[in-house]
Amino acid sequence: MILAAVLVVSGAGPALAGARQLLYYNHAWGTLDRATADAVEHSRYLRDFADFEVRTTTGADGRVWTGRYLRGRETYLEVFGPGDVPGQDGEPGSAGLGLSTERDGDINKLGARLRAAGQKPIDFLQTRDFGDGKPVPWFDSLFLIEKYEKFGAWAMEYRDEYLNDPRSKVGPARFPGDVTRERYLPDAYENRLMRDVTLVRLAVTASDLADTVPLLRAGGFTLRTDPGTVVATRGGTTMRFDEVPLGQTGLKRVEFELNRAAARHVEKLGSSTLVVGPGKRAVWTF
C-alpha cells in the first residue's frame, strides 16, 4: 500500500493546466475522544467564538449521526465523539473531508474528469429527514472508493430540492445555478468571532492518502508534495495531509480567520487546545 501511495503522490503537482477549479473545501470532520467531544459540546466559549450547533441528523437509509458544528461564512468544522456516527467513522482517529462545487452541474464535470483520468467514481445521493419521515434530496456526492482505513474524502453538490425547501433556511440564489457554500450556510457567523476555516491538517494512512490525491487533482487544487506529505491549496483553505501509520491518524490542527482582531485567549477543551488571537487568527490543535 505504501508503494501505491508513492506512485500516485509522486505525480501530484500544479492544478490541471487551464482547467477551471470545480471543488472547494466545504468542511472537515474528526472523531475525538469522549472527554474532548463533551467539552466541545458544553463549552460556553465556543458559542461566542462560532456559529455553534449540536445537531442530530437522519440521512440516507436512516443513518443517524450527532455532530458539533462550528460554522463560518463558507466553511465549517464538525466534531464527533465515540459512537456519535455509525460504524468505523465513530471510532477516535477517524476523519473525513467534504469538497463541494459552487455551480450547479459541476459535479458532472468532475465525474468526467475523473473518468478521463482512469478513475471509477461512485455516485451517492445523501438525503435529510427534517422529522416528517420524508427524506429530502440534500446533495449529490462522488467517492473514489467504497471503504477506507480511517479517512475518506468526497465531492458534493447541493440539490435544488434542499436549497429551495424553507426548512433548510437557505438564502436565495445570487446567480443561476448558485449552489455555493456561502448560500448554504447561515449568516450567524457575522455576530461571532470565527469567519472561516483557513487550514486543516489531517494525519492519514498511506492507502487513504493515495485514494484522496486523484480527487484533489481532478477538483482543480494545486498540490505540493514532500516525503510523506501532500498540501492542497487554491480556493481559500489549505489542506495538509501527513502520512502516518494506523493508530496515529485523525484531525490534528485547524486554523481560522476571525471577523475581527481578538486579544489572546487559550481555551482547553478536553485534550485539545484552542488559541484565539492575538489578531484575526485562531489555532485549534488536537
pTM exceeds cut of 0.75 = yes
**pLDDT at residue 50 in the model:** 98
d(C-alpha 85, C-alpha 64), whole Å = 7
**pLDDT at residue 215 in the model:** 98
Mark 241-279 as b/e (b = at least 16 C-beta within 10 Å): bbbbeeeebbbbbbbbbbbeebeeeebebbebebebbee
HSE-CB for 28 with a 13 A CA cutoff: 26
What are the phi and psi torsion angles at 257 (to 5°)?
-90, 140
Strand order of the β-sheet with 238-243 is: 222-226, 229-233, 238-243, 194-204, 250-262, 279-285, 272-276, 265-269
d(C-alpha 50, C-alpha 193), whole Å = 6
| Residues whose CB falls within 8 Å of the CB of residue 69, separated by 6 or more in sequence, listed in order | 51, 52, 53, 54, 55, 76, 77, 78, 79
Q: Sketch the domain layout of the chain as residue ranges.
A: 2-251
Element counts in the chain: helices (H) and strands (E): 7, 16
What are the phi and psi torsion angles at 222 (to 5°)?
-90, 130
**pLDDT at residue 15 in the model:** 56
Residues in the chain predicted with pLDDT less than 50, given as ranges, are: 1-12
Asked if residue 214 has a cis previous peptide bond (ω within 30° of 0), the answer is: no
**Which residue is associated with the grid cell 481560522?**
256
> Which amino acid is it at 52?
F
Return the H-helix or E-strand segment holding 183: helix 181-184
d(C-alpha 186, C-alpha 132), whole Å = 23
d(C-alpha 192, C-alpha 71), whole Å = 10
Look at residue 90 and give its three-state secondary structure.
helix
Which of these, 237, 234, 235, lies nearest to 253 by C-alpha position? Answer: 237
